[in-house]
Chain A
C-alpha cells in the first residue's frame, strides 16, 4: 500500500463513511480496500465483555452510603439544640447556686483557694475542702478533711467543720489539721474557738491545740505561718502516728509500722518535703527506728 496516497485522516473518513463519492468509489476498487474492510468487519465480531450496569450502580450506591455514614447526619432539627441548651443552662444555674464547691489535693500537693469573701485557704497534701456556694457572705461554713491554713477576712462567723470537731472564728489566721482520729488547730493571729466532744477551747495568737485521747492538749509556738507553706512539716510534741500520716500524705507512700510500738511516741521537729529519704531519716533516726523500702512506695519500720 502506498501510504502517501492518502491524507492523514483518509482512513478515518472512510471508516466513518465520510469520504466523497468519488474518493469512495476509487478506494473501493483498490486491493487495499478489501484489507481494511476485513479489519473493520473483524472488529465488529469482537466483543467487549458484557456490562452489568445495574450491579455497578448498586455498588456505587453502597459506596455513597458508606461515605454518607462517615458524615454527621443531623437527626434533630437545629432549634432542639437551642431548647436543650437553655434547659441545660437553667439546670446549670440551679446547680451552681445550690451546689457545694469542692477542692481536693493529692499526695504531696498544695492548693491555694480564695473564698467568695476574699478569705484565703491553703490546702496541704491529700486534703479536701468543701463549702456551699450560695449565700457565702452570711453563711461562712466549711467542711474539711486533712490540713489547711486559713486567713479569714472579717465578717460573719466563719466555721470549719471536721469529723472530730469544729473551729469558729471571727477573722484570723489559723490552721486546722483534721483526720479520722486526730484534730489539731494552730492559731497564728486573732482568736479561734475550737469545739470537740462538747469541750470548747479558745486559743489566741501563737497557741495551738490538739485533740488527743479524748482530751485537749495545748501548747505554744512561735511560727507566724505554718511551716508547710515553706515546704516543711513541723511538729511540736506530736503523736508519732500523726507524723507518719503526714509523711504518707506528703510523699504518697505507705508506712508500715506494725513491727514498732509507736503508741506514746512523740515527735518534735520538722522535715523537708524535698526528699523522702531525708525526711524519713529526720523523723525516725532520733527515735532509733530503722526504715527500709519494701518497694518504691512502701516503707517498713523496724525497731533497732
Chain B
C-alpha cells in the first residue's frame, strides 16, 4: 500500500492535529515557557514540511519531536514549570461537606504540589506530566522520549517518591 505523503496538505494537517499538543506540552514540561514551547513546535512543523519528501507518515511524529527537542536543548533559558491551579475546581467539589480547615489545608497542599512539580528533575517531570496531564501510557511516553518503557516506569516511580518527599505529611 502506498504510504500517505506528508507533503499532502490534508495528511500534514492530520499529523499536526494528532501530535502538536503533546509535542508542545512535552517541550513545555521541560522549559516551563509556553510561548517558547509553541515557537519550537512551530519551527519543528515547518521543518517537517520542508522535509516532507524524506519523512514518512509513520516517522513524522518522532521527526517533529526530535527537531523540537534539539531546538529546546539549543535554547538555554529555562523557566520553572508552574502549572496553574484553578481553585474553583477542588477536592471539595469531589467530596461534599468539607470543613473550612480542610479547604485551607487543600489550598496549602495544592501550593506545595505546584512547587514540588516545578522542582522535580526535568526527566522525572516530563514523564510524570505526560502521564498524568496528557494521559499518555508509559509505552507512548517511552516512544516520545526515546527510552524503554521500563525506564519510563522507573522515572514515574521516582517522580512520585520525590513529590511525596517534598510535600511531606500534610494530610
> A99–B114 Cα gap in the complex (Å)?
85
Name the interface residues of A31-82: CB closer than 8 Å to any CB of B: 32, 34-36, 38-49, 51, 53, 56-57, 59-60, 63-64, 67
Question: Distance (Å) between the CB of A56 and the closest chain B CB?
Answer: 6
CB-CB under 8 A from B25, the residues of chain A are 48
Name the interface residues of B33-51: CB closer than 8 Å to any CB of A: 34, 38, 41-43, 45-46, 49-50
Chain B: interface secondary structure? helix
Count contacts on A: residues with CB < 8 A to the other chain. Answer: 36
Asked if B46 and A45 make an inter-chain contact with CB atoms under 8 angstroms apart, the answer reads no
Nearest A residue to B134 via CB reads A48
Specify which of B20, B50, B85, B160 is in contact with A36 (CB 8 Å cutoff): B160
CB-CB under 8 A from B16, the residues of chain A are 53, 57, 60
Question: Distance (Å) between the CB of A162 and the closest chain B CB?
Answer: 64
Kindly count the residue-residue contacts between A and B in the assembled complex, taking CB atoms under 8 Å apart.
Answer: 115
Asked if B42 and A60 make an inter-chain contact with CB atoms under 8 angstroms apart, the answer reads yes
CB-CB under 8 A from A35, the residues of chain B are 164, 167, 169, 171
Name the interface residues of B138-171: CB closer than 8 Å to any CB of A: 138, 150, 152-158, 160-161, 163-164, 167, 169-171
Count contacts on B: residues with CB < 8 A to the other chain. Answer: 54
A16-B138, A60-B42 are known; give 19 further A-B pairs, CB within 8 A. Answer: A8-B154, A11-B160, A12-B138, A15-B132, A36-B160, A39-B160, A39-B163, A39-B164, A41-B94, A45-B110, A46-B84, A46-B133, A48-B25, A48-B133, A49-B84, A51-B24, A53-B20, A56-B20, A57-B13
B residues touching A (Cβ–Cβ < 8 Å)? 13, 16-17, 20-21, 24-25, 28, 34, 38, 41-43, 45-46, 49-50, 83-86, 89-91, 94, 109-110, 113-114, 117, 128-129, 131-134, 137-138, 150, 152-158, 160-161, 163-164, 167, 169-171
10 closest residue pairs by CB, A with B: A12-B156, A9-B153, A12-B153, A46-B83, A11-B160, A11-B157, A42-B113, A63-B46, A12-B157, A47-B84
